[in-house]
Structure formats: structure tokens, C-alpha cells
Amino acid sequence: MKLTRVLDGTPYYRLGGLKKISPDVRIVAATNRDLEKDIEAGKFRSDLFHRLSQVHVQVPPLRDRPEDIPVLAEFFLREQNHNSVSIAPAALDELRSFPWPGNVRGLRNAVIRAAIMRSGNEIQPEDLPLGSRRSRFNRAPSLQVSTRWNVR
């Protein structure tokens, strides 16, 4: 069975089945590639592109919408049940100024990591694993922590 037939809603027989099944699906697809250029280069099928692109939503990268970062960061904290954790203004400034090559997924991972690694009830800039500087997260564990986890 071809994906394009399912996207068209064409009924099909399940393997070994005796009854036709009519698909009732909606597909949400996302990419950071220019699919029209990929079609021209022969890297993506045009018939699949036209079936998938009935509704096109252009979402700018996170680095172009820093005003969304505080709202998303708070959402990720609540999503992980870190309800008593807040983010210091200086940490929010660092989150806003970071280029976010991993987009929203990268922000989510950084916020959750910082919530786990924080030293108090508030996420500080040194708790953020942003890689532009050596945060507490990136430092090597102390000798006390290292020896505690030695396997005998």
C-alpha cells in the first residue's frame, strides 16, 4: 500500500483482509528544508508534496521570536511538574539572547536540565547548559561525587 493512496483516502485491503478499509487520517508534517528546491533537485516527490501541503503554516525560528521564550520556558517547567521553580531575570535574558539552533526542542531540553541541576528554587544563568560558557552543568563532577559512584 502506498502512502499517497492513503493520503488520497483510497480504500485498501489490509494484508490478508477481506474487507476494504477507508483511511480517515490527518497528517501534520514539519521540515526546515525548502521542499520546492528538493523537488527540482529530484530529492522529494512532487505528488507527495502536493498531497501534504493543503495547509501551509510558516513558523519563524525561535531565535526570531524571543518574546515567546519566557512563556515557553514556564510551560516546560509546569509540564514537568517543577511548579515551585522560577527563572531568574538574568537567566531569562540569557535564554532570550541564545540563538537556539535546536529551536523549541533545544529550549525545552535546556530548561528541564536547568530545573534538575539548579541549586535553589530559582534557575540562575549558571544552571543553564547553553554551551557558550562553562555552566555548573558542564563542569566535571567533584572528587566526592566521582568516588561515590565508583563501581567495585
pLDDT in tens, 91-102: 999 999 999 987
Kindly list the domain boundaries of the chain, sorted by start residue: 3-52, 62-127
Write the pLDDT tens digit of every residue in 104-151: 999 999 999 999 989 889 999 999 998 754 444 444 444 444 444 444
CA atoms within 13 A on the CB side of 51: 17
Sequence-separated (6 or more) residues with CB below 8 Å from residue 72: 62, 104, 107, 108
C-alpha torsion 136→138→143→145, nearest 10? 80
What nine digits make up the cell of 47?
505528488
Instruction: Say yes or no to pLDDT of 64 above 90.
Output: yes
- Of residues 31, 34, 9, 32, the one with CA closest to residue 22: 9
What does the pLDDT read at residue 119?
87
Cα gap 1→8, rounded to integer Å: 12
What nine digits make up the cell of 1?
500500500
Write the pLDDT tens digit of every residue in 12-61: 888 899 999 888 888 888 888 899 999 999 999 999 998 888 888 888 89
What nine digits make up the cell of 150?
565508583
CATH architecture of 62-127: Orthogonal Bundle (1.10)
DSSP 8-state assignment for residue 18: S
DSSP 8-state assignment for residue 140: P
SS3 19: coil
